[in-house]
Amino acid sequence: MPINILMPALSPTMTEGTLARWLVNEGDTVTSGDILAEIETDKATMEVEAIDEGTVAKILIPGGTEGVAVNQTIAILLEEDEDASAIDAVETAAPAPVAAQPSQEVVATPAAVPLAAPAPAAPAAPVAASGARVFASPLARRMASQENLDLAALQGTGPHGRIVKADIEAALVQGVAKATPSAASTPVSAAQAAAPVASGPNARELADLLGMEYELEPLTSMRRVIANRLTESKQTVPHFYLSVDCEMDKLLAFRKELNASGDVKISVNDFVIRATALALKKVPAANASYSEEGILSYKNADISVAVATPSGLITPIIKAAEGKGLGVISSEMKDLAGRARDGKLKPEEYQGGTFSISNLGMFGIKDFSAIINPPQGCILAVGAGEQRPVVKDGALAIATVMTCTLSVDHRVVDGAVGAEYMAAFKSLIQEPLSMLL
């Protein structure tokens, strides 16, 4: 019988993604291990392998389609000696629900990515006044909810008449399908009810009102996730901040000697990663996260390092950094950063981490405060090293100084623990030879 190729989950939390492009065509014969397509999530692009063999009979979701729900049927594979007429019933069927499907139907899996847990179910599809179900992608449903659009009033242009992102954007431009407020509106959560209400038009509405010229760049999945997570962090995590000034002259001199004698070129950021991890080993209470069940204290220092990419920020992880030397950290960081910018990281290489670093020193930023990356308890913001006047032994002198600011979740790390951690970090930066012990 025909085999459904389903949209795979690239991570336990993924509910939808973009089917970037197909690497096979209808009529092609594939075997187990062949690459079928490329899937984009908010963080990376992954290849999808076939785990069955047969002939690609029908591609249901074209390349470039956004908001494809996890476990939705994206293509149909025919086994040997099966006739194309066998797919007729499948073609007319509704899109597969997001709930997990029987194992024999899951025939596509992302290369080298273990599917450790099923993805959570997407929100229920809306229903028209007539009682008929309105088919819409999860992204389209979310956009419609945010813009107060009535999906039942829209005509979908996606597969099987499904409403997709482009239909929502067209409705917004045309100003149609605005939903009528109703006393029976869906209840909102306590967090939503507590959110501040805008007192005026948003940027796009104001620009339209004033006749201002602009270009609207639609949000990418990555940018939308960043916006949601950072908003949630600032609204729900009680931040406080601790800053120290670290003298770097010894570190810079030591780095110069290392780079002159070895093949691996060590960066200041590599020293910061190493010092961050060793300081967590000295002050393990800072290597923790908050949960409703209790405080999670981590055994290893898995350091998430912020990397800027064309699509937004991503944080590849140096795992168990407390046990790795500067050379290993340098090599791993170069590899992770390069693949992060190319969108080639595996989910396990950027999901997780126990502590984050955001370094803007290379851009000349003197000091700043970063937003905590939940569920982590701390993030260290690193500024530029610059020559400043300092007082030594009662006399004015010049030193290269770097300001570092720790953003702390007060639910899990108290002020005294944060201060102890920053003292340990400063000591390691100012005495870099101690990092080799």
Catalytic positions are 410
The CA–CA distances, whole Å, from 430 to 16, 235, 247, 272, 359 equal 47, 35, 6, 11, 18
For helices 268-282 and 415-430, give the axis angle rounded to 10 degrees.
130
Q: Which two tokens stand for residue 415?
A: 């002020």
Tokens 């008449």 locate to 161
Strand extents, DSSP E, 248-326: 288-291, 294-297, 303-305, 307-309, 312-314, 317-318
Whole-angstrom Cα distance, residue 356 to residue 394?
Answer: 37
Closest C-alpha to 348, from 116, 71, 39? 116
289: Cα separation from own chain's centroid = 19
Closest C-alpha to 43, from 371, 380, 314, 330? 314
Q: Are the C-beta atoms of residues 54 and 70 closer than 8 Å to each other?
A: no
339: number of Cβ within 10 Å: 17
Q: Are the C-beta atoms of residues 163 and 137 closer than 8 Å to each other?
A: yes
- In the chain the first and final C-alpha atoms are separated, in Å, by 63
CA atoms within 13 A on the CB side of 305: 26
Which residues lie closer than 8 Å to 251 by C-beta, 6 or more apart?
268, 271, 429, 430, 432
Classify burial at 357, counting beta carbons within 10 Å of its beta carbon; exposed 0-12, middle 13-18, buried 19 or more: buried
Closest C-alpha to 91, from 127, 63, 57? 57
